[in-house]
Amino acid sequence: MADGKEAMESYRLDVKGMQVYVKIYSAEEAFAPIYEVTYPGIGDATKLLLMSLRPELMALIPLDPNRLNEGEYLEEMKDKYKQTSSMLIDRYLPQTPEEVKTLLIAYIMNMMIGLGDLEVPLADDNLEEVAVNTSTEYMWVFHKKYSWCKTNIKVPNEDYIYNKADQIGRGVGREINNLAPLMDAELADGSRVNATLYPISQKGNTITIRKFAKNPWTMPALIKNNTIDPYMAGLIWTCIENEISLLISGGTASGKTSFLNAMSIFFPPTRRIISVEETRELTLPEFFQWIPMLSRMPNPEGKGEVTLYQLMINALRQRPDIVVVGEVRVERDAETMFEAIHTGHAVYGTVHADNASDTIVRMTNPPIAVPKIMLNALGAVLVQFRHRAKGIRRTIEFAEVLKGGDVNVNYRWNMRTDAFSQVSELTRLADTINLYGGLSKSEIADGVDKKVKILKWMVKNGVLDVNSSGAVVSAYYKNKEKIIGFAEDDVKYSGEMLR
């Protein structure tokens, strides 16, 4: 370990035309991994010079921050800034090679029109969260593999944080100021943004961004990293195939919505799907008939709000076969969800709770407080868990919902062995599948076994992305024996074979 540093991983990123080098390492003097960003070809002195050009650029090309969300205006400004930046670089850094000049212009563009120092972590698909806690401390990021890491990025001052938060808010019609020091917003790619101002946040202004997954989780991907057992995944597939509604619970950042997205590849392609969310997190296969709907906060005058409840009511008027609910928070959300189930829709949603039993307690007490008997409409509860110390996420329980609203845990994860095991037989869920699908217990088990073979075959062949994995499942619904045969014969996968 040279100079007290132990390298963990390194890679390059393309940040809107700017090449950046990322190195993650552990250091003797640090308690958390270090996420170090360097700009090849741009030293600290050059960065200072480029930032000193900002006032001159703004004077030459005034920028209207209220129009940055207008595509045509933004492209026009980009062209002008590129031309002017090139002119200023020729003036202050003459004889700069063209490849270095291109890099410098990209850096200026990110700082002037983009989100500046936030652009690098936002471009890294390995990150889930980006946190600016104050201008006096280094930024933090949550890495999918290494958990929280401290970066070497520090923003210049508190005004910088405020300006970037204001820029984000203006893009979606939100305000942040001394009278409204808390803001929830989103970026154009669907990433969720929370910002706070001093003195509400005592150390200084903050920006926290939960990134929208560009490559969403799928069930084969979750099986590959041992988040879920293949047999449990096959059982979930059987439930969805027979239009049995499921509820996913778990703590904050346990992966509830990611799991909901992973389950979506099991939806039959002939169904009309409507999802309702507070912020866009779901990404379903592109060939589905899917209508994503988002709630909306009121404007500064308190007008224009669209609630999750209103979206759910509206969704039921659009003849859906499947309704996906981002999160159940209050009583009327839950009542509408159960009304949708009772009127013949398959519903899949999430709720905050730590285990299957607590899910029932959460659903039957304020602020949700639905009658326990209503839980009969659900087939099963799946519980997601995030082990912060180990940096892993697991499906810790699969529990069928019994008549009367209690739960019977059928499968559970063992933390000591990091393995899944069956702890009880299916009872009511088996009866429900028999009622709607006409399958006996032995036929259910046989069907799940075949689905397990398909899922393992997909994992082995690297069929992990949302469109290709969704296509395999859709092909299964069209010709079951064909896809089962591919899996049983271990045929090498190609997209052409599904046609």
Residues 437-495: pLDDT tens digits?
A: 999 999 999 999 999 999 999 999 999 999 999 999 999 999 999 999 999 999 999 98
Q: What's the pLDDT at 204?
A: 95
Give DSSP secondary structure letters for 404-467. TS-EEEEEEEETTTTEEEE-S---HHHHHHHHHH---HHHHHHHHHHHHHHHHHHHHTT--SHH
70/142 same-domain check:
yes
285/150 same-domain check:
no
For the stretch 237-270, pLDDT in tens is 999 999 999 999 999 889 999 999 999 999 999 9
Last residue of a domain, one of 210, 227, 262: 210
b (16+ CB within 10 A) / e for 155-182: beebeebbebbbbbbbbbebebeeeeee
Boundaries of domain holding 170: 2-210
Q: What's the pLDDT at 455?
A: 97
Task: Give the separation between CA 283 and CA 189, rounded to whole angstroms.
Answer: 12
Q: What is the pTM of this model?
A: 0.81
95/231 same-domain check:
no
What CA–CA distances, in Å, run from 432 to 231, 244, 371, 442?
19, 8, 21, 14
CB burial class (10 A; 0-12, 13-18, 19+) of residue 387? middle
202/228 same-domain check:
no
323/401 same-domain check:
yes
Last residue of a domain, one of 158, 190, 210: 210
Instruction: Give me the number of domains the chain comprises.
Output: 2
180/236 same-domain check:
no
Order of all β-strands in the sheet with 182-186? 5-15, 18-27, 34-38, 147-151, 140-143, 127-132, 206-210, 192-196, 182-186
CATH number, domain containing residue 487: 3.40.50.300
Last residue of a domain, one of 210, 236, 271: 210
204/106 same-domain check:
yes
CATH number, domain containing residue 76: 3.30.450.380
Task: Give the separation between CA 197 and CA 236, rounded to whole angstroms.
Answer: 44
For the stretch 21-33, pLDDT in tens is 999 999 888 889 9
Q: How confident is the model at residue 1 (pLDDT cuts 50, 70, 90)?
A: very low
165/306 same-domain check:
no
165/63 same-domain check:
yes
Tokens coding 133: 């806690």
375/449 same-domain check:
yes
Q: What's the pLDDT at 466?
A: 95
75/132 same-domain check:
yes
Q: How confident is the model at residue 3 (pLDDT cuts 50, 70, 90)?
A: low
* Average pLDDT for 208-226: 90
164/297 same-domain check:
no
